[in-house]
Amino acid sequence: MRTVEQVVEFMQDVIAFAYQRPDMVNLSADGLDLVLQNNHHLWAEIVGRHDEFYQVFSDVCMEVGSGTDGFARHFRREMPNASEQELCGHVIAEWKRIGERLKMLVPCQ
C-alpha cells in the first residue's frame, strides 16, 4: 500500500501531466477544466486542505469573473474566436495559479 506522501506525489504528477500534455488528457478545454478541478480537489482532500482549496478556488474565480461557469466557458465568452489550444492554455494558467497559491509541488510548473 502507498503512503500518504506517495499518493500526494502521484497526484502532483497527474496534475503536471495535464499541464504539460493537455491534448493527452482531454480534447476540449471544458473537459480539461473539469479534470484539473477534480485533481486539485482530490489533492486538497488528501492533504487535508479542503477548505483552503475552496477559498483559493473561489478567490481566483472572483478575480477572473468566471463565477460558476468555469475558466474555459468564461474565456470562450470573452474571446469567442479563441482556438481550443488557446482555451486550454487559459485553463492551465488559471489552475497553475491556484496550485501556486496552495503551494503545491507540481513538477515542471
Q: For the chain, report the end-to-end CA distance as a whole number of angstroms.
A: 28
User: In this predicted model, what pLDDT tens digit does every residue of 26-61 receive, in sequence order?
Assistant: 668 999 999 999 999 999 999 999 999 999 999 999
User: In this predicted model, what pLDDT tens digit does every residue of 50-109 receive, in sequence order?
Assistant: 999 999 999 999 999 998 889 999 999 999 999 999 999 999 999 999 999 999 887 765
The pTM (predicted TM-score) of the whole model is 0.87
Domain ranges, ordered by start, for the chain: 4-101
